[in-house]
Amino acid sequence: MDTIEQQAQRMNETPEIGAARPVPVARSRLRSSGTVPRTNLGDRAFRALVCAFGVAIVAVLASILLVLIVESWDSIRTFGLSFLISSTWDPVFKQFGALPFIYGTVVASLLALLQAVPLGVGTAVFLTEIAPGWLRTPVSFLVEFLAAIPSVVYGLWGVFVLVPWERTYIQPLLASLFGFLPLFQGPKYGIGLLTASMLLAIMVVPYITSVTHEVLRAVPSAQREAALALGATKWEMLRIAVLPYGRTGIIGAVMLGLGRAIGETMAVTMVIGNRGQISASLFAPSNTMASVIANEFSEATYDLYVHALVEIGLVLLLVTLIINALARLLVWSVAGPAGGARRA
């Protein structure tokens, strides 16, 4: 939502503050550790206290990783690397291979990005460069609102509205146009990879849009003016000045979207069909790493089963950690540490 930002603007407009940069030199000098001797006990205690709370966040992140490794150790030791490359998931015979779920996650997320990235970047361009001033606030508010809808509500809508549409219109259409490809063959249940990816696309578009929006706004207007002064049209200005400047940040925005898509659970669980088999068809029911945990965790009857599910969680965590860390660094490099932070 825009609230914080608007408030920020309002605060900056308040005459008392004058300069908009709220970290004046004098303040940091006052607090710098070496020059002023720290005699006040209260100050030191307070600083230690808030510092401890800050460190607690790092500790939570580290302990999530640690807990998942410890809880899945049994399964890691039993199956080793074959956990990641075996496609047999058979709780009855205590055989666990996560490949079908990894496949489902990768295909569903990439398909979702394929749909969401052009739309998201296009919308961000529309918001920063094209839309008339009066339209910008309501459109960006509505986009942010899309991000506020809970996953389970998307899932509900998916089950009762999107799935029937897919079954009766979209999938038959795709099958008649591209039916020669194995991707679009097979029975059309409505549920399955394709439907899940469309729902995911709807869900990640607001993240890609708002982070890209922020990145594009961080492009200095001198860049735009220089291009326009050379006689460029708006599109040429975008192509030669704005998009290259923001490219790193946009890639970061896309990766943030990817991180979201990979970890998304409820909506996917509700429309993907939950069948752990690799199939060439996008119409086929499938399962993602997140959805198999959601489905089977509370039904797991023996320890190794639970540990195997936790190991899937561990893989999921590691993948999203890497993607998010890279994405943050990319976005930070363009828009600064505040960029995209509170929005995604």
Q: Which is nearer to other proteins, 204 or 281 (CB)?
A: 204
Q: How far is the CB of 241 from other proteins (least distance, A)?
A: 14
Helices (H), 264-302: 266-271, 289-296
Q: Does 73 bind other proteins (CB under 8 A)?
A: no
Residue 76 binds other proteins, judged by CB under 8 A: no
Based on its alpha-carbon atoms, the radius of gyration of the chain, rounded to whole angstroms, reads: 24
Q: How many residues bind other proteins (CB under 8 A)?
A: 111
User: Which of 241, 250, 262, 282: binder of other proteins (CB under 8 A)?
Assistant: 262
Closer Cβ to other proteins, 63 or 95, answer by number: 63
Residues 78-117 that bind other proteins (CB under 8 A): none
Q: Of 124 and 281, which has the nearer Cβ to other proteins?
A: 124
How many C-beta atoms lie closer than 10 Å to residue 320's C-beta? 18
Q: Own/partner pairs for 126-130, CB < 8 Å, 24+ apart?
A: 127/209, 127/213, 128/213, 128/216, 128/217, 129/216, 129/234, 129/237, 129/238, 129/242, 130/234
Closest CA to 117 of 265, 252, 278, 314: 252
Q: By CB under 8 A, is residue 54 in contact with other proteins?
A: yes
Binding other proteins (rule: CB under 8 A), the pick from 110, 130, 222, 230 is: 130
The window from 77-85, 128-136, 175-183, 220-228 that contacts other proteins (CB under 8 A) reads 128-136
DSSP one-letter string for 116-137: HHHHHHHHHHIIIIIS-HHHHH
Among 85, 114, 161, 230, binds other proteins (CB under 8 A): 161
- Residue 336 binds to other proteins (criterion: CB under 8 A): no
Residue 53, interface with other proteins (CB under 8 A)? Answer: yes
DSSP letter, residue 321: H
Distance in Å, CB of 176 to other proteins, minimum: 23
CB atoms within 10 A of CB 81: 8
Q: Which of residues 13-42 bind other proteins (CB under 8 A)?
A: 14, 16-17, 22-24, 26-28, 30-31, 40, 42
320 binds other proteins (CB under 8 A): yes
> Does 146 help bind other proteins (rule: CB under 8 A)?
yes
User: Does 325 participate in binding other proteins (rule CB under 8 A)?
Assistant: yes
DSSP output for 148-214: HS-HHHHHHHIIIIIHHHIIIIIHHHHHHHHTTSGGG-S---S-SHHHHHHHHHHHHHHHHHHHHHH
